[in-house]
Amino acid sequence: MPKVWVINGPNLNLLGQRKRDHYEVQTYQELVQSLQSKAAQMDLTVECYQSNHEGDLIDWIQAAQYQVDGVIINAGGLTHTSISLHDALETLKCPKIEVHISNIYTREKFRHKSLVSPVVNGMIAGFGQKGYILALEHIKTLIKANN
């Protein structure tokens, strides 16, 4: 069964508590449960990881090279600032999808630039937490195409 890691960056552990107009009311744990449920229906295994620390995220991305068939990443605020995340994702050969709960292009100007986008297969933004489900559906297609 193909394995997908969903890697979440800073402050995503605060889902349901923070800026509900941007991030919705579902908590991080509820998001994880919905992803695992959807993955089971799709014959995928999903493991979710969240950290507020850039180095931890890089360690997970590097480990993914040998452990998973695909990665979904929401790097949070590091999307716009981390060359190191960009570099780690660039070396990862499996399919990668960037997700943002809000539409980063309708928010503050500093959020309009993603350093992650150039090194992933695609980006889903502005569909709320459903964007993770859309990413899961598409990454399954990419994994099948790679095999």
Which residues are catalytically annotated? 23, 100
User: Are 102 and 78 within 8 A, CB to CB?
Assistant: no
CA 6 and chain centroid, separation: 5
Report the distance separating Cα 1 and Cα 125, nearest Å: 27
Residue type, position 71, single letter? V
User: Are 75 and 68 within 8 A, CB to CB?
Assistant: no
CA 125 and chain centroid, separation: 11
**Within 10 A of 95 (CB to CB), how many other CB atoms are there?**
23
